[in-house]
Amino acid sequence: MVFSSVEFLYFYLPAVIALYCVCPRRFRNALLFATGLVFYAFGEPIYVFVLLLSCLIDYFAGIIMAKYSERPKIRKVCLIISLALNLGLLGVFKYTPFIIRNINAVFGTSFSTALPLPIGISFFTFQSMSYAIDLYRGEIGVQRSFIDFSAYVTMFPQIVAGPIVRYKDVESELADRRVTVIGFSDGVSRFVRGLAKKVLLANNIGALWEEVKAADYSALPALTAWLGIVAFTLQIYFDFSGYSDMAIGLGKMLGFSFPENFDHPYVSKSVREFWRRWHITLGQWFKNYVYIPLCGSREGIAKTVRNLAVVWLLTGLWHGASWNFVLWGVWFGALIIAERLFLGKLLEKLPGFFGWLYTMLAVVLGWVLFDTESIASAFGFIGAMFGAGGSFSDVHSFWLLCEYSPIISLCIFFASQAPGNFRARLESRFEGLGLRADVFRLAEPLITLVFLAASTAYLVNQSYNPFLYFNF
């Protein structure tokens, strides 16, 4: 994908930013639309038409709803058609192979399941749908310019892996925004920080998971299994939060303020808290468009449990079309329901460490389901974590531990709140000397340059550079 190439960093992205900055304001949305299509076409030259179709569906849905603003039945039918078409596209491309695989397994048939998944279809479909739903609710005004609406849907910084930006988040900025020196500088710093998280941390720790994941789980020592899944736990955080940082940073360079998507999720002391901190925009999407319309927690505990179960079943399916993702959603849904019913009160009475330990164990076990090929392999790996492989460790386990301990330690440090606390203490100390502003004004560009140089060097010399959430 283009975000993972040196050519993108040094040619495409700078050219787009430069052209955007000199472009007259009235043409900037058209430029965003065009560059979004070009960016998407780098990875999906054919499926760019699916992206355009998604734009057309909700744009015309909005125009018709605005035209018949005094006809609620027509507006409702229009919304239903829009949702059916959007979800139909998502269903055809994302879930048809899953359905066919299960038909083949049950009936012994051999129908082909070869249907490539458009990159980021779950993200841009949800984003486009939010416009039609919010317009129907009367929360936003209609966008009569197809170019402006499509610029919102196809905006290249976050089109393929979020954060999921609702139209109401950027409605005013689509109409009028300014690129300031401070905003641009902050955006560059945020983008490079995300790039460093992705290529320096996620990629390096991910190599450990790739090695462990390929092993024979029936003979896998417990220590090796734990090292592997801890590696993936850190990899997926730095991979996805790194991309979100890059998207938010690019948005700042273009004059947009995208919502935050992560808030130190691995410091959470409950699963509910974890999901308030992880992929924040997805959680808010399901809350606004599924949980609350189902009446949320307003009609008694039985319906609250039902509503949470529906949300988490859909959350699992949103992430992928396999039984692993279904079970992953069920796992977290069950834990969140348990916390709502009784477990949350128990956790509040315990020391915070025990809440954190329970949460991390739940999350780590969930990640096993998330990134193994089948439910059988997931349970095989979990068994190895708890000794089913026949041993606690072997020579290879200690070799992996010695080799990857530095990067594991570094990842844990940056996944915690320690860097922010350290900076706050430094700022407080320098403030007393009257040097805070000067020191950090000089230090931040230097740190940014170091991160950019190190990330570029890595991209030049390494071929392992997956973006995990591009698959969703």
* Catalytic-role residue among 264, 279, 319, 396: 319
Mean pLDDT of 11-20: 83
Note if 319 is an active site residue: yes
Q: What is the pLDDT of residues 292-348, one digit of tens each?
A: 999 888 888 999 999 999 999 999 999 988 999 999 999 999 999 999 999 999 999
Query: Where is pLDDT greater, at 237 or 435?
Result: 237
Q: What is the pLDDT of residues 453-464, one digit of tens each?
A: 888 888 777 666
At 404, the pLDDT band (50, 70, 90 cuts) reads very high
- 362 pLDDT above the threshold of 60: yes
Q: Tokens standing for 345? A: 């009160």
- 407 pLDDT above the threshold of 60: yes
Q: What is the pLDDT of residues 147-174, one digit of tens each?
A: 999 999 988 887 767 699 999 999 999 9
- 245: amino acid identity, one letter: D
Phi, psi at 248, each rounded to 5°:
-65, -40
How many C-beta atoms lie closer than 10 Å to residue 279's C-beta?
21
Residue 2: predicted pLDDT = 47
| Mean pLDDT across the chain | 88
Residue ranges covered by each domain of the chain: 2-177, 184-414
Q: Tokens standing for 72? A: 């609620």
Q: How big is the CA angle at 204 (ends 471 and 187), to the nearest 5 degrees?
A: 70
Residue 374: predicted pLDDT = 92
- 82 pLDDT above the threshold of 90: yes
At 437, the pLDDT band (50, 70, 90 cuts) reads low
Residue 15: predicted pLDDT = 84
Burial 403-421 (b: 16+ CB within 10 A, else e): ebeebbeebeebbeeeeee
